[in-house]
Each structure stands twice: as structure tokens, then as C-alpha cells.
Structure 1
Amino acid sequence: MTAQTDTEGRLVHLLTLQGLPRAALDALLDRAQRFAEGADARASLAGTAVCTLFFEPSTRTRLSFQRAAQRLGADILGFDAATSSTTKGESARDTLKNIEAMGVRGFIVRHVGDGAVAELAAAAEAGTALVNAGDGRSAHPTQGLLDMLTLRQALGADFSGRRFLIVGDVKHSRVARSDLHALRTLGAGHIRVCGPASLLPEDGTLDGCEVTHDLDAAMEGVDAVMMLRLQRERMEEGLVASLEDYHRDYGLDTARLRRARPDAVVLHPGPMNRGVEITDAVADGPQSLILRQVANGVAVRMAVLEALLAGR
């Protein structure tokens, strides 16, 4: 694994939340909270070039990183794999090195391959910073951070007495892995995970979690429910019998939500499959923080870009 910090503990890349010290997480979340409250960004990245290097489709992540970079005064270069030289066989490494040669020192990278962003970070010049915007099933650290910021705003910073529930396709979810790393680091008191056996990993990802296949039971008394997108391509693999069966067993509706604490909150990283993993009444209801997650994404990504690039 490429080092994320230098010898003085300063963040040089953000590749994963796994192993990141609590002090580093808290510092990023505290700064993001100030940005969320309207703190002046002071154009701290004026003159700095940042490239959104996305080899996979994205809406929220790409646009919120672009918005974050704009608010910090950075120059933003967009990259579209579909119209780039990758269609002619150019490797991701060569793409990065060529853009780096243009004076770009910040790269926000999304890639289909597990570990691909860390490999690119290892190839980058000293002083170039990479942010993992989602790689394969491995990690999506800024999504994990914005989820934690949203939870802190709703529940307070002390997670030790809280119960958290993650529901759905954990096996294929980089978001779930980043959320689990962050929740453990921030001292979550109790983490439950619920989903069909075919969509839960067996690689140690769920160590220390209460694992169940009964969503009704899992909902009892939780403070926060974190729904995951059912990746419809898993239907073709036969991992789910049907969308209707999945919704019946693992969809969140208002009746199920009543089993949680009265003030429980609902999160979803998007894009949502309405009527599959979540109903309209819940997604648009008073306990939903889904749009706040999106808003917090800009603040979190500002904090990350500032920490990595300001003053370089």
C-alpha cells in the first residue's frame, strides 16, 4: 500500500480510511463542518491545477469535487475516459503521467480496478496528491467521510452509545467498506449489517459486526440506517432472486423504519433504486438525510483537497 502520510504525519494522498488515525479523521471532519457552516475558503488553492480523472461514470462524486475545487479557487481539468486516448489503448498510468507533465498536482481518481488508485499514487511525482474517488470494491474514502459528517451532525460526535445498521449489498460496496472503517475508528458502539447471504462478504470485512439476514429484527432500536444500492448487475449473476423479493426482504419502508428509534436517521449514498432498496416515503421523508449527504460532500471534499494541496 502506498503511504498516505509523510514522516511528519501530514496527509499526502487519501486512498482509504482503513488505518487512518482518529486524529486525522477528526481534523478532516472538523474542517468540513466549518466549510458546511460557510467558512471562508480563502481561495487557498488559487493557481493549483486539479484533474478529475474518472475512468468510471459518476454524478455526485465528480460534480461535488469540481464544486469543492472551484470554491477553493483551483483550476479544474475534466477528463472523460470515453473521449480520451484510453480508447486507443493508453494506460491509466500514462494518462496520469502526461497530465502531470502539464503541471497538474492534484488528481481525483475513480477506477473500476481494486487498488488502481494506490498504484497510480505510487507512480506519481513527489508533491502530486491523489484522492481515491472510488476504486473497484475497495474504498470510497470521501463518501465515508461525508457519511460520518452527516451522522455527527445528526447524532453528535460521540458514537460510542449509538447503534448503526448497514443494509444491502455489502459484498460489492466500496462505500460500505469505507463506512465500516470510519465507524470503527470513531468508536461506534454497535454496528449491525443486514443483507442476503449472497451479498455479504466472507473476507473479514464484517469482523466485529452483528450480522443478520432479518431486516425487521435488525431495525430494532437503531439510531442510523445506512442503505446501500442494489447493484442490478448482480441480478444477472443470480445473487438475488428478483427485485420484488429483494424489496420484500430488504427494502426500507415506513413500517420497517418505525422499528428504529423515533429519531433515527436514514442515509443512502446514491444513486437510489426507488422501490427496490428504499421507498419514496422514506427517501423523501423527514428522517432522510440523503440530500444533506450530497451537500456535505462538497464540504468534505473541500477539506480533503485543502489538506492535501494547500501550500504546495
Structure 2
Amino acid sequence: MLAQEQAAYTEQADFCVRRLLMVWTRRHILSLSDFSFVEYALVLQTAGSFQQVLARPNRKVPTLQGRIIVNLFFEPSTRTRSSFELAAKALSADVVNFSPSTSSLTKGETIFDTTRTYLAMGMDIVVVRHSLSGVPQSIAQDLEQLGSPVSVINAGDGQHEHPTQGLLDLFTLCALLDPHDPRPELLAGKKIAIVGDILHSRVARSNLWSLVTCGADVHLAGPPTLLPAEFAQFGVTLHHRLEPALAGADFVMTLRLQKERMGDYLLPSLREYHRLYGITREKLAHCRPEVRVLHPGPVNRGVELSSDLLDDPRLSLVSQQVASGVAVRMALLYLLGGGR
């Protein structure tokens, strides 16, 4: 029975590959700023298929068997790194996890030297996370100058973007609205409030690109020090008070308040922030009755979200976001790996 299921999946996957390759031409995933509506639709459709695969007893498929995926994480990560590793292994790829503390970077090797070392070892896709903006783009440019066909995925760079987080958030929302056919047009006209440290958030930037492109009515809320006027250029509405942003919202996405920034005197205190912008059950009364709450994690409990709200499966989509991450990253590895 297992062999029959595997054969049926392979046949379906081959058909999908042939159809998707007619429109999927992207080599790298560095930003969502230039993603098209069609590309969003393809990612959601593909992730939906892999979500079904992950629900089976046998959660592995041979799609990328023999391919080498390198997780080049220069910045600490739990969710993103583990999600990419699980996604690659579910596709039967070989995975190499890079650790900067035990690498030759401590001996003076450059980031480009490190990438070229893995290139010589035969890597096919490299997933890059770095605390400085632009590093994944620089690695992609270096690989292209070398004539390499290796694809680069940005897993978060500085305050620039976190495109795979934006895509998994998009999938989480659309899969909730239609579990059988998640598609971007489901978000047209939906009011989505994004609350918190917008200024320093790469997650916010990626979500702004994707949600606006898909037709959502996006409202940003946060203190003036963390929500500068320049964000209006995304075509969204800015609020320095929470209530107008929440009024009639279908979804509320809270962002991590980066405690390491508190030395910049951007906020008087965490307690004051929670009082004004922390999401609680009482504040959700301003939203639509069926409102759901998201957070990319990690969560500062009692600061961005009250603990009881975070742990309530009737309201919180945080667990679904984590689960969606594996399916979406499988889809991206699949599209890039098959696109060549």
C-alpha cells in the first residue's frame, strides 16, 4: 500500500512540476518585494500539497534525493533553522548545518570563503541567516559571478527581510480561510493589524509586501519611536493608538519587542508598553468576533501577548505558524530544486 501511495504521489508531483515550471523562473528567494501574485499562489498551492504529505504516517518523499542543502546560519535560530532542516529531510535531501562558533570564521575565513567551500563540496541550495542586512544578496551575487547554479534562500537578514516567515504567515492565514484550497485572493479586503516593533522587524517588512500584494487592508500600530511615518509608503494605515488598528480586524499579528533595543530609550518600560500595546482578551473586543492572533516567535510572554491568550487554541495561531513553516519551506526547496 505504501508503494502505491508513493507512486501516486510521484506521478502527481511530476505533473505539478511540469505545470509549475512553466511559470516559476525564480532562482533565489531573497525578498518578497518583487514577488508576483502568481508566485504567491504557486507557493501556497505547493505548500498545501506538502501539508498533506506531512499529515501521513510516512512523511518523506524522494523529490530532492541526492541534493545537498546547506543551512548557513550566522545568527542564532531555533524555529527557522529546525524548520528548514525538517523540510529538507522530508524531501530526502542531504542537510549540512553550519555553526559559526566551530567554523574557520574564527581563524579569519570570510563568509564568501565559507560559501565557496560548500560550493566545492557540491551544495545545491544554501539557506542564509545573518544579523547584517544584505548578506544573502551578496552571497547570491558572488555565486552568480562564479557561474554557479546554486540557489540562495534568505532566512532573515538584519532589519531587511525574512521572506520565508512572510510566506508561512500568508499560508497560515489562507489555510485557515480555506483548508482545502489556500490561495492569496482569500485575503482581499481582510483587515490585518500588525502591532509592535515595526521599526526593527524584518518579519514586518516581508509581511507588508505579501499582504498588500494579496489585497489585504493592513494597519500598523505601535509607539511613534517604533513606527516611523516612512512605513506609509507600503500602502498601509499607521496608528500610534492601538484601538483604531484593532477596530473590526480579522487578524492581529504581534511582533517581538526586541529587549536588546531598550538601551536606545525607545520605550519608557516593558510594563508601559504592555499597557498600551500588549494584546489581551479585553483589547481583542475591538476586533471581529472570529479574530485570530499570530506571532512569529519567540514571544515575550506578558509583553506582546498575555500568556492565557497565547495558549488559547481558539484564538492563537502560533502553533499553526510553526507547523506551516515546514510545509512552506518544503515548497520553496521543491520549487527551487525542481526549477533547474
TM over 0.5: yes
SS at match of 1:110: strand
Q: Distance in 2 between matches of 1:206 and 1:64?
A: 32
Q: Percent of aligned positions with the same letter in both sequences?
A: 44
Deviations 1:86-137 (A, max 9, x none): 1222111111011111111210000111111001001114310110000011
Give 2:214's match in structure 1, choosing from 182, 186, 202: 186
Deviations 1:218-242 (A, max 9, x none): 2111000010000001111111111
Q: Distance in 1 between matches of 2:53 and 2:42?
A: 17
SS at match of 1:53: strand
- The equivalent of 2:198 in structure 1 is 170
SS at match of 1:132: strand
1:38 aligned to 2:57?
no
CA 1:202–1:90: 2 relative to 1, 3 Å: farther
- The equivalent of 2:98 in structure 1 is 79
Greater alpha carbon shift after TM alignment, 91-100 vs 297-306? 91-100
- The equivalent of 1:290 in structure 2 is 318
Could you state the TM-score of these two structures normalised by the residue count of structure 1?
0.94
- The equivalent of 2:131 in structure 1 is 112
Could you state the TM-score of these two structures normalised by the residue count of structure 2?
0.86
Greater alpha carbon shift after TM alignment, 234-243 vs 31-40? 31-40
Greater alpha carbon shift after TM alignment, 203-212 vs 98-107? 203-212
- The equivalent of 1:136 in structure 2 is 158
Q: Distance in 2 between matches of 1:311 and 1:214?
A: 45
1:211 aligned to 2:238?
yes
Deviations 1:175-197 (A, max 9, x none): 00000000011111x11000011
CA 1:7–1:205: 2 relative to 1, 3 Å: farther
1:35–1:41 Cα contact (<8 Å) kept: no
Gaps of 5+ in 1: 1-5
Q: Distance in 1 between matches of 2:232 and 2:105?
A: 33
Alignment length, in residue pairs? Answer: 306
- The equivalent of 2:33 in structure 1 is 18
Give 1:303's match in structure 2, choosing from 312, 324, 331: 331
Q: Which amino acid aligns with 2:331?
A: A
Q: Structure 1 residue 41: deviation in Å? A: 5.8
Q: Distance in 2 between matches of 1:107 and 1:191?
A: 32
Q: Which amino acid aligns with 1:180?
A: L
- The equivalent of 2:306 in structure 1 is 279
Q: Structure 1 residue 201: deviation in Å? A: 3.5
1:51–1:77 Cα contact (<8 Å) kept: yes
SS at match of 1:310: helix
Give 1:257's match in structure 2, choosing from 284, 287, 298: 284
- The equivalent of 1:62 in structure 2 is 81
- The equivalent of 1:88 in structure 2 is 107
Q: Which runs of 4+ in 1 moved over 6 A?
A: none
1:253–1:279 Cα contact (<8 Å) kept: yes
Q: Distance in 1 between matches of 2:267 and 2:105?
A: 34
Give 1:198's match in structure 2, choosing from 225, 239, 261: 225
Q: Distance in 1 between matches of 2:38 and 2:234?
A: 23
SS at match of 1:20: coil
Q: Which amino acid aligns with 1:31?
A: T
Q: Which amino acid aligns with 1:17?
A: L
For the pair shown, which has the larger CA radius of gyration, 1 or 2?
A: 2
Q: Distance in 2 between matches of 1:45 and 1:197?
A: 47
- The equivalent of 1:150 in structure 2 is 172
Q: Distance in 1 between matches of 2:104 and 2:77?
A: 19
Greater alpha carbon shift after TM alignment, 287-296 vs 254-263? 254-263
- The equivalent of 1:239 in structure 2 is 266
- The equivalent of 2:254 in structure 1 is 227
- The equivalent of 1:97 in structure 2 is 116
Gaps of 5+ in 2: 1-20
SS at match of 1:65: helix
Deviations 1:48-95 (A, max 9, x none): 011100000000000000000000000000101111111222111111
2:195–2:220 Cα contact (<8 Å) kept: yes
- The equivalent of 1:3 in structure 2 is none
Higher helix share: 2
Q: Which amino acid aligns with 2:133?
A: D
SS at match of 1:69: helix
2:60–2:89 Cα contact (<8 Å) kept: no
Q: Distance in 2 between matches of 1:223 and 1:233?
A: 31
